[in-house]
Amino acid sequence: MTLHPQSRTALAAAGAPIDPTYEWLVGHRANLDATSPANSGPPIALPVVADIDAGGVPARLYDPRYGRGAPVLVYVHGGGWCAGSLETVDGLCRRIAHRSGVAVLSIGYRLAPEHQWPAGLDDVETAIAWLRASAETHGIDATRLAIAGDSSGGNLAAVVARRARDRGEPFAFQALVYPATDAVDGTPAGDPDEGTGLTNGRMAHYWNWYLPEGADRKDPDVSPAHAESLEGLPPALVITAEYDVLREEGERYAVAMAEAGVPVVLARYQGLVHGFARELANFDGARAAADQIAGAVREALDPPR
């Protein structure tokens, strides 16, 4: 294997994969929040960082222009739909806002298994509807919108982007970081990736916690890869990690969008593992990925004149 040395260090610190239980999940959530500041590094100062109520959904607004009409990137955190929070992507959202000059609205959606699908999806769309209606009062410009997310958040971002297209309210851009795109064919049996972070077994647990019993796993609001048509989706940046069980399904989705005529940039980060993008202090690739997202979002929403 050609794991990056930083991946080896992170995997050694994480310890051996375990069979997830609900008790483990509760501790995992707390641990993610507690370790995020160290994993993200010193927070980047911005003119506005404000926790807000986005139509009843917790959210955090990062505005590098201090109310002077910045376009907006909506960000949806990962964590298997069951963990993660505004805190776990705080450093990433700060860096994207700082490097792009674009405001970022990070959304704290409800988590499974307490709140199964479509609760999280509903929360993201509720927050976006609030943003479209209320952006002017916060000095940001909701006529120029992009959406992004990592892992399960990438799944939600992809679903929301397609649904917005269908409503005639398309986003200008989407950035999907190692997204989960296929609940049917994306989690093969066995664990060939044991020892490289997220395993197929753990991913299967996340899907099972997220989806109610009997849910149609081919529903495109669950598995964006099974949408009837990908034509007309917003231009996309898709980032994957070489040693990640979600790499193949993320890359297949990028190829499928490109074949449907969607402008797509696909970037595989070599030697890295799932979850690297939010650990800015631990992975050189995390800072590169944040800056790649920032540059793409700036070009899509606020290109040089």
Q: Which domains does the chain have, with CATH numbers?
A: 5-301 (3.40.50.1820)
Integer Cα distance of 116 and 209 in angstroms: 7
Q: Is 41 exposed, middle or buried (0-12, 13-18, 19+ CB in 10 A)?
A: middle
Nearest Cα neighbor of 76 from 43, 110, 51 is 110
Place of tokens 């093969």: 188
Answer yes or no: is pLDDT of 188 > 60: no
Place of tokens 């700060």: 94
- Work out the angle between the directed axes of helices 284-301 and 90-100 (0-180°, nearest 10): 50
Type of residue found at 263: P
Please provide the average confidence, as pLDDT, over all residues in the chain: 94
Tell me what pLDDT residue 185 has: 83
Answer yes or no: is pLDDT of 194 > 90: no
Are the C-beta atoms of residues 120 and 156 closer than 8 Å to each other?
Answer: yes
Integer Cα distance of 59 and 75 in angstroms: 10
Integer Cα distance of 201 and 86 in angstroms: 26
151 in catalytic set: yes
Strands (E), the chain: 48-54, 57-63, 70-76, 103-107, 140-150, 173-177, 236-243, 264-273
- pLDDT tens, position by position, 80-137: 999 999 999 999 999 999 999 999 999 999 999 999 999 999 999 999 999 999 999 9
Answer yes or no: is pLDDT of 193 > 70: no
Tell me what pLDDT residue 191 has: 45
Are the C-beta atoms of residues 284 and 3 closer than 8 Å to each other?
Answer: no
Are the C-beta atoms of residues 244 and 196 closer than 8 Å to each other?
Answer: yes
Answer yes or no: is pLDDT of 251 > 90: yes
* Residue 109: C-alpha distances to residues 153, 177, 186, 211, 300 (Å): 10, 18, 23, 15, 26
Dihedral, CA of residue 9, residue 15, residue 21 and residue 26, to nearest 10: -60
Long-range contacts made by residues 127-136, C-beta under 8 angstroms, separation at least 24?
A: 127/54, 127/55, 127/57, 127/59, 127/74, 128/74, 128/160, 128/164, 129/55, 130/54, 130/55, 130/57, 131/54, 131/72, 131/74, 131/105, 132/169, 134/54, 135/72
* Gyration radius from the chain CA atoms: 18
Which one is catalytic: 77, 138, 205, 274?
274
Integer Cα distance of 302 and 38 in angstroms: 32
Collapse the DSSP code of 3 into the 3-class scheme (helix H, G, I; strand E, B; otherwise coil) and give the result.
coil
- pLDDT tens, position by position, 1-23: 589 999 999 988 887 777 789 99
Integer Cα distance of 125 and 144 in angstroms: 16
Task: Tell me which of 264 and 188 has the higher pLDDT.
Answer: 264
Tell me what pLDDT residue 196 has: 64
Are the C-beta atoms of residues 69 and 46 closer than 8 Å to each other?
Answer: no
291 in catalytic set: no
98 in catalytic set: no
Which one is catalytic: 36, 40, 100, 151?
151
pLDDT band at 190 (very low <50, low <70, confident <90, very high): very low
